Amino acid sequence: MARRSGNATTDSRRDTSGADRRDSKPPVKREGPQGPSQRQLRVAEEVRHALAAVFAREEFRDPDLHNLHVTVTEVRASPDLKHMTAFVSGLGKDLTPAQFAGLRRVSPYLRTLVSKAVRLRFAPDLHFQPDTALDYAMHINKVMQRPEVQQDLQPKPATKDEDES
């Protein structure tokens, strides 16, 4: 019985394109921060709606949260969906540190209500942060209204050199 050479067996295992499998490049991974996945966005929006419904009912026994009117502006989910950060602001006024402490105290209760409203494998831990987006937008608006910024935004008059060409 004749023995086959190693080249014959390796030749039959090659791709039809003629390129070796070792020569193919792995998929390119993106560098830098990536945004949230579609699932994270969808679940976070459902949690936002559930929290807004709970805050609309105002069924808290905590004295710091009595007659508290809260707007949940955004919820961000961790990649594993076990932690949710809710950005909240008061209607007409900022929330006090005592009210944020009250929100932290009732977060287990809110977690239970959210887990009943949103079907997930794990009930997410809720964290509350003040929403400063409106304050930042108002600051940017004030900066844009300054005269030195407005002059930069105005179109410059055409010079004579540009008119002749």
| Tens digit of each residue's pLDDT (9 = 90 or more) over 51-74 | 999 888 877 888 888 888 888 899
Two tokens, residue 70: 């809260």
* Measured CA angle at 47 (ends 53, 98), to 5 deg: 70
Two tokens, residue 93: 């006024």
Q: Which residue carries 């076990």 as its tokens? A: 82
87-118 pLDDT, tens per residue?
998 887 788 888 889 999 999 999 999 999 98
Residue ranges of domains in the chain: 38-153
- Is the model's pLDDT at 21 over the cut of 80? no
Give the neighbor-by-neighbor strand order of the sheet with 83-90. Answer: 70-77, 83-90, 125-130
- 72 with 55: CB under 8 angstroms? yes
Q: Which of 101, 126, 109 is nearest to 43 (CA)?
A: 126
CATH superfamily ID and name for 38-153: K homology (KH) domain (3.30.300.20)
Which residues lie across from 77 on neighbouring strands?
84
Mean pLDDT of the chain: 80
DSSP labels for the chain? -PPPPHHHHHHHTS-TTS--GGGSPPPPPPPS-----HHHHHHHHHHHHHHHHHHHHT----GGGTT--EEEEEEEE-TTSSEEEEEEEESSSPPPHHHHHHHHHTHHHHHHHHHHHS--SSPPEEEEEE--HHHHHHHHHHHHTSHHHHHHHSPPPPPHHHHH-
Read off the pLDDT band of 13 (50, 70, 90). low
Read off the pLDDT band of 162 (50, 70, 90). low
| pTM reported for the whole predicted model | 0.64
The gap between the terminal CA atoms of the chain, to the nearest Å, is 88
What is residue 2's predicted lDDT score, i.e. its pLDDT?
53
- Is the model's pLDDT at 6 over the cut of 80? no
- Is the model's pLDDT at 16 over the cut of 60? no
